[in-house]
Structure 1
Amino acid sequence: MPDSSHRSEVTTSLNHAAFGAGPGAGPLADTDVPVERWMRAVVWGARGHYSRARAELEALTRGGDVEPAVVSLAWSTQASLLRQLGWHRVASGFDGRALAVVGTGSGDGGDVLLREARCDALTGLAADALGCGRLALGRRLLQRCGEHLDEGVADRLWRQRIRTHWVSAELFLAGGDFASARRHADTAAEISEASGSVRHHVKSDLLRSAAMTGDPDSGPAARLAADVLDRCDRHGLIPLKWAAAMLLGGVTSDSRAQVAREECEALIRARGGRFRI
């Protein structure tokens, strides 16, 4: 076991890559600590390295000396990877396992990681329901997640709050309410900017752009989508770059959108991702 000072450096570097300002910054530190392995998987997934992410996550859910919160987070992250590729129904099974590990009660004894895991599972299930066309179920699941968020400390659960606003925005987009979607996307962008997470801010801006497509003038949506595409490219966020290219291609005739989409699809497939199309 490395000494505590080295362990702190490893945790800090992985947290910086997963949830901070350096999502595409260089190689990832090796580790056998479960929560750090989960963070490695988050980064691999954000970069579109699906096979590497799955290998880390499957090791955490296979059994052994891994605390329930981390096991749950690993299941939820596997579900997230599936959703990115269109497998919402399959993802719901993984999110269900994530919730089963940590339960739905509030008796967590102040364990923040356990509360994070519970919220991630509920938000994931809401996103799965949305992807399957069950909008009312998605809203109910978000309400349940909100109850747990209300019990927590806001600055410790910033990621969960952002995710809730993301799925809320997506639900409103699916229902054609662009104004409400924009409010949730704007709030997610504000929280993510304050948190310092590049990846979360990029995705929040992607949703802001999607919400802007309801405006008569498509120019602002197109400009923001192009900016998101550039930032994804700069930070190596391949799945988000693919989504940004899809959005940009839908609101403009910009030829680079199709080129970027095809490049991302090829990379994702080469790295172990399989689209449900």
Structure 2
Amino acid sequence: MLGGQGRFAAAAALLQRLLADPCTPVGIASHAAVTLASHLRQRGGHALARPLDARGLRLAAIAPGDPPCPDGTDAAAAGVDALVGLAADALGVGDPVADRLLDAAEALRHPSWRTAVRIDWVRAESALYTGRAADGEDPARRALDRAREAGSVRHVVKSRLVLAVVRAVAHPNGAVLTELDAVAEAADRAGLLPLSVPARWAGADLSGDNLSPSVTRSTPNANDDAVNRSHEAANGRVSGPARRRHAATLTASVLYQLSDPVGRGLTGEPVSGAARTSVM
């Protein structure tokens, strides 16, 4: 939960202790490795996440065979998560093996709703990365349905974000922009800061480019953004894109302060360049 709240430094300290402690059960160590990989990947560290996901997969393979857990806390679920993580890592570094890794994860047929949701998140991401955004709608919708059935607030918000981003690319329109704003607000209410940032960046990009031709899209550089906001304030208005960029930058600054040194190096100093947080 620490990572879901954006408390990445606290999460890294805990997970690294678990990985370093020889007394940590192998199945728990496997989950620790893939969770730490996920936190790195969320900040763009796909190459750094890859060896951790591979470590999680190796640990899961030698862990005692616990009964499958519907919530995905057993070692076999960690193995599935590791394959899904490796698929997401592959997408981030341009390796074309992602879909094969997702097929391998799905073939394990783990009964957990969590593993199924994560597989569908990355299937949707794969469709986006390969220019097939419309193909990502079905897996994104499945993920949202499963998350709602399970009652997990974080998984529902993230699934809404994935589906909205897919739809924004495939069918840009005002309804998608409204949903992205709603997702950002839901993430804020739930304290899920890592989901608020990409929702607001996506909304700013969409409203600046596709929905409001009269508004010129600014670069994500914080200095340029400040100039744009000052210009708009001088004219008695602040545009939707500027509001969203400003809110995203402020939240990214909070996440920067809550990050460990590795995470800070991945995202960069927010006041000098607003880093975009990965959906996955």
**TM-score (normalizing by structure 1):** 0.78
Match of 2:227 in 1: none
Match of 2:94 in 1: 133
For residue 142 of structure 1, the aligned residue among 75, 99, 102 is 102
**How far, CA to CA, are the matches of 1:126 and 1:49 in structure 2?**
25
Q: What residue identity is the alignment partner of 1:125?
A: L
Match of 1:45 in 2: 3
**How far, CA to CA, are the matches of 1:203 and 1:184 in structure 2?**
13
Match of 1:119 in 2: 80
For residue 23 of structure 2, the aligned residue among 29, 49, 65 is 65
Change (3 A) 1:59 1:184: same
Q: What residue identity is the alignment partner of 1:259?
A: H
Q: What residue identity is the alignment partner of 1:138?
A: A
User: Deviation at 1:214?
Assistant: 3.2
User: Deviation at 1:141?
Assistant: 0.7
**How far, CA to CA, are the matches of 2:21 and 2:116 in structure 1?**
29
Report Cα offsets for 1:113-153 as digits up to 9, x if no partner: 0111111111100000011112x3111111110111x2x33
Q: What residue identity is the alignment partner of 1:128?
A: D
Match of 1:103 in 2: 61
Contact 2:194–2:255 (Cα < 8 Å) also in 1: yes
For residue 258 of structure 1, the aligned residue among 245, 267, 274 is 245
Change (3 A) 1:109 1:216: closer
Match of 1:268 in 2: 255
Change (3 A) 1:222 1:66: same
**How far, CA to CA, are the matches of 1:240 and 1:229 in structure 2?**
7
Q: What residue identity is the alignment partner of 1:110?
A: P
The question of 1:195 aligning with 2:153 is answered no
**How far, CA to CA, are the matches of 2:68 and 2:164 in structure 1?**
36
Root-mean-square deviation over aligned CA pairs: 1.7
Structure 2, unpaired ranges of 5+? 209-239, 269-280
Change (3 A) 1:104 1:163: farther
Percent identity, aligned pairs only, is 31
User: Deviation at 1:64?
Assistant: 3.1
SS of the counterpart of 2:2? helix
**How far, CA to CA, are the matches of 2:31 and 2:163 in structure 1?**
27
Match of 2:44 in 1: 86
SS of the counterpart of 1:64? coil
Q: Figure out how many residues of one structure are paired with residues of the other and give that number.
A: 228
Contact 1:212–1:220 (Cα < 8 Å) also in 2: no
Structure 1, unpaired ranges of 5+? 1-42
The question of 1:238 aligning with 2:193 is answered yes
Moved more, 241-250 or 164-173: 241-250
**How far, CA to CA, are the matches of 1:194 and 1:95 in structure 2?**
28
Change (3 A) 1:163 1:197: same
**How far, CA to CA, are the matches of 1:109 and 1:56 in structure 2?**
23
Alignment of 1:212-223 (within 5 A): 212-223=167-178
Report Cα offsets for 1:29-76 as digits up to 9, x if no partner: xxxxxxxxxxxxxx1111111110011101110123221111011000
- Moved segments of 4+, more than 6 Å: none
SS of the counterpart of 2:181? helix
Q: Which has the larger radius of gyration?
A: 2
**How far, CA to CA, are the matches of 2:29 and 2:68 in structure 1?**
15
User: Deviation at 1:101?
Assistant: 0.8
For residue 75 of structure 1, the aligned residue among 33, 46, 56 is 33
Q: What residue identity is the alignment partner of 1:263?
A: L
User: Deviation at 1:252?
Assistant: 1.0
Change (3 A) 1:109 1:81: closer
User: Deviation at 1:111?
Assistant: 4.7
